């Protein structure tokens, strides 16, 4: 059983401890609490570098030190503190960095409220466990044989067919009925690849609908999107060796993943509001009267500085959108402002939680909205790579990983 060390402050008083343990149990892991002595806590300033006023945060830091000194105590670490606590936010980030720098143990950090449920934590925990349990599989660099991948996303369902390390067919449909959409996407991919379903050796499934779809089509691999997408990203961007940062701005949530040699080390997943997701760009395109596929090109002609826009909340973001148009702002400036605002939300809310190391790879359908990678480049001051098939990243990752299971 995978042991996840919980370093936290406030979870038991927020009434969510049981949810954390339930999520861990669901993915075949158990939560452990490394033992520390009073001296370890009193000396945390010397060992960790700082002590703070809150006792539970000092305890969390002392536990981090203990794990680094004895990596056998845990297979993975989850650092959790209360949402909106400044003291905890600083320490949470420092603990994540400390473990990342001093050990090879994967770390997940998360800020919770009393509304956090096991379901909220499930995908994150699953990814954490996968990075430990299937390290060998995740280290796979080449796809072999004839396999397919399906990414059952919240907005669209994507599928690819791969043969001997090449994508030979793709399918992309809006997600309506989850099963029907998956079947349609796979059928489209098979058609463009010119192969029959019976010839496919194995199918891997990822995305929100993965359990339902995976069971229905008898998939050999059913995997959360964090590990699968990061694998697909480094494969397509030819960055399987060394560090990389994967940014996936999805239709409903966002992922920022710090990758080393193709294996996720730390990641964040979330988004306070759909204002920081592809949904806001969809809404912007609709309001501007352009197709979503044209929004990026339009944005490239604009300047975000000409429009005041903040999509921290999708409602307020929409309000600024409507206001700016009413003030006579140019559509191209509004389009770029929307891209910049989404990129800024991801930068502020998520990229602070992972080590941003080059190459920075943007994936998912939103990466094809050209204004978005450009806005991210401006914020990060680094070149952003958008690989070919970026929108099929989950499906590619699934097809690649499932081929590893065939050999085993």
Q: How far is the CB of 11 from another protein (least distance, A)?
A: 7
Under rule CB under 8 A, residue 16 binds another protein: yes
169-196 burial code (b ≥16 CB/10 A, e <16)? bbbbbebeebeebbbbbbebbbebbebe
Instruction: Return the number of the residue (81 or 143) whose C-beta is nearest another protein.
Output: 81
- Rounded-to-integer distance, Cα 173 and Cα 192, Å: 14
Q: How far is the CB of 143 from another protein (least distance, A)?
A: 44
Ranges assigned E (strand) in 46-198: 76-82, 107-112, 146-152, 156-163, 166-174
Q: How far is the CB of 384 from another protein (least distance, A)?
A: 34
Instruction: Return the number of the residue (10 or 251) whose C-beta is nearest another protein.
Output: 10
Instruction: Return the number of the residue (88 or 95) whose C-beta is nearest another protein.
Output: 88
- Rounded-to-integer distance, Cα 158 and Cα 149, Å: 8
Sheet of 360-363, strand order: 29-32, 2-9, 76-82, 107-112, 263-270, 254-260, 243-249, 360-363, 384-385
Q: How far is the CB of 56 from another protein (least distance, A)?
A: 4
Instruction: Return the number of the residue (9 or 99) whose C-beta is nearest another protein.
Output: 9
How far is CA 399 from each of CA 128, 318, 339, rounded to the nearest angstrom? 20, 38, 31
Instruction: Return the number of the residue (58 or 245) whose C-beta is nearest another protein.
Output: 58
Under rule CB under 8 A, residue 42 binds another protein: yes
Torsion angles phi and psi, residue 370, rounded to 5: -50, -30
Q: How far is the CB of 113 from another protein (least distance, A)?
A: 5
Torsion angles phi and psi, residue 261, rounded to 5: 50, 40
Under rule CB under 8 A, residue 159 binds another protein: no
Instruction: Return the number of the residue (38 or 196) whose C-beta is nearest another protein.
Output: 38
- Rounded-to-integer distance, Cα 341 and Cα 283, Å: 13
Angle (deg, nearest 10), helices 331-349 and 278-288: 170
**In a 3-state reduction of DSSP, which class is residue 18?**
helix
- Rounded-to-integer distance, Cα 143 and Cα 147, Å: 8
Q: Which stretch binds another protein (CB under 8 A): 13-21, 187-195, 280-288, 293-301?
A: 13-21
Q: What tokens appear for 378 in the block?
A: 């401006």
Q: Which stretch binds another protein (CB under 8 A): 69-77, 113-121, 126-134, 353-361?
A: 113-121
Under rule CB under 8 A, residue 15 binds another protein: yes
Q: Which of 98, 112, 134, 208 binds another protein (CB under 8 A)?
A: 112
Q: How far is the CB of 286 from another protein (least distance, A)?
A: 32
Q: Which stretch binds another protein (CB under 8 A): 35-43, 125-133, 243-251, 293-301?
A: 35-43
Instruction: Return the number of the residue (116 or 229) whose C-beta is nearest another protein.
Output: 116
Total residues binding another protein (CB under 8 A): 31
Q: Which stretch binds another protein (CB under 8 A): 15-23, 92-100, 223-231, 297-305?
A: 15-23
Q: Tokens 């309000």 label which residue?
A: 319
Q: Which of 30, 45, 69, 115 binds another protein (CB under 8 A)?
A: 115
Contact 228, 401 (CB under 8 A): yes
- Rounded-to-integer distance, Cα 309 and Cα 315, Å: 12
Helical (H) or strand (E) element with 61: helix 55-69
Q: What tokens appear for 199 in the block?
A: 């010839």
Q: Reply yes or no: is the peptide bond before residue 359 cis, omega within 30 of 0.
A: yes
Binding mask of the shown chain, residues 47 to 86, with x at each position contacting another protein by CB under 8 A? -----xxxxx-xx---------------------xxxxx-
Under rule CB under 8 A, residue 165 binds another protein: no
How far is CA 168 from each of CA 144, 183, 190, 394, 400, rounded to the nearest angstrom? 13, 18, 9, 15, 13
Q: How far is the CB of 17 from another protein (least distance, A)?
A: 7
Q: Which stretch binds another protein (CB under 8 A): 12-20, 236-244, 287-295, 303-311?
A: 12-20
Q: Which of 35, 45, 50, 114 binds another protein (CB under 8 A)?
A: 114
Q: Which residues inside 252-281 make contact with another protein, applying CB under 8 A? A: none
Q: How far is the CB of 54 from another protein (least distance, A)?
A: 4
Binding site for another protein (CB under 8 A): 9-18, 38, 41-42, 52-56, 58-59, 81-85, 87-88, 112-115
């Amino acid at each position: 059983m995978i042991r996840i060390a919980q370093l936290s402050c406030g979870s038991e008083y927020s009434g969510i401890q049981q949810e954390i343990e339930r999520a861990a149990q669901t993915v075949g892991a158990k939560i452990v609490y490394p033992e520390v002595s009073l001296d370890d806590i009193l000396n945390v300033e010397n060992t960790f570098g700082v002590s703070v006023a809150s006792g539970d945060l000092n305890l969390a830091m002392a536990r981090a030190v203990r794990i680094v000194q004895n990596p056998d105590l845990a297979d993975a670490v989850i650092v959790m503190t209360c949402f909106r606590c400044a003291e905890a936010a600083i320490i949470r980030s420092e603990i994540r960095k400390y473990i990342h720098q001093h050990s090879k143990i994967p770390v997940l950090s998360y800020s919770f409220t009393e509304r956090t449920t096991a379901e909220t934590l499930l995908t994150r925990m699953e990814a954490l466990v996968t990075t430990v349990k299937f390290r060998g599989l995740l280290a796979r660099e080449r796809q072999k044989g004839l396999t397919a991948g399906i990414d059952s996303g919240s907005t669209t369902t994507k599928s690819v067919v791969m043969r001997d390390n090449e994508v030979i067919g793709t399918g992309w449909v809006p997600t309506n009925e989850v099963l029907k959409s998956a079947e349609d996407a796979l059928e489209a991919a098979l058609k463009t690849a010119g192969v029959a379903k019976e010839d496919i050796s194995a199918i891997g499934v990822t995305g929100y609908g993965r359990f339902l779809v995976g069971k229905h089509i008898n998939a050999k691999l059913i995997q959360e999107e964090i590990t699968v997408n990061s694998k697909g990203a480094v494969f397509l961007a030819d960055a399987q060796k060394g560090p990389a940062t994967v940014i996936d701005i999805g239709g409903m949530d966002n992922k920022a993943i710090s990758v080393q040699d193709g294996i996720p080390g730390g990641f964040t997943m979330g988004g306070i509001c759909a204002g920081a997701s592809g949904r806001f760009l969809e809404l912007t395109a609709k309001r501007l009267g352009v197709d979503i596929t044209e929004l990026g090109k339009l944005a490239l002609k604009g300047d975000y500085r000409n429009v005041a826009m903040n999509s921290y909340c999708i409602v307020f973001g929409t309000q600024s959108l409507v206001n700016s148009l009413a003030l006579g702002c140019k559509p191209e400036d509004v389009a770029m402002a929307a891209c910049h605002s989404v990129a800024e939300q991801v930068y502020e809310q998520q990229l602070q939680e992972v080590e941003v190391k080059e190459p920075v790879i943007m994936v998912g359908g939103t990466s094809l909205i050209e204004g978005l990678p450009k806005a991210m480049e401006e914020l990060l001051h680094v070149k952003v790579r958008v690989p070919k098939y970026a929108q099929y990243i989950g499906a590619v990752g699934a097809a690649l990983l499932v081929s590893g299971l065939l050999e085993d």
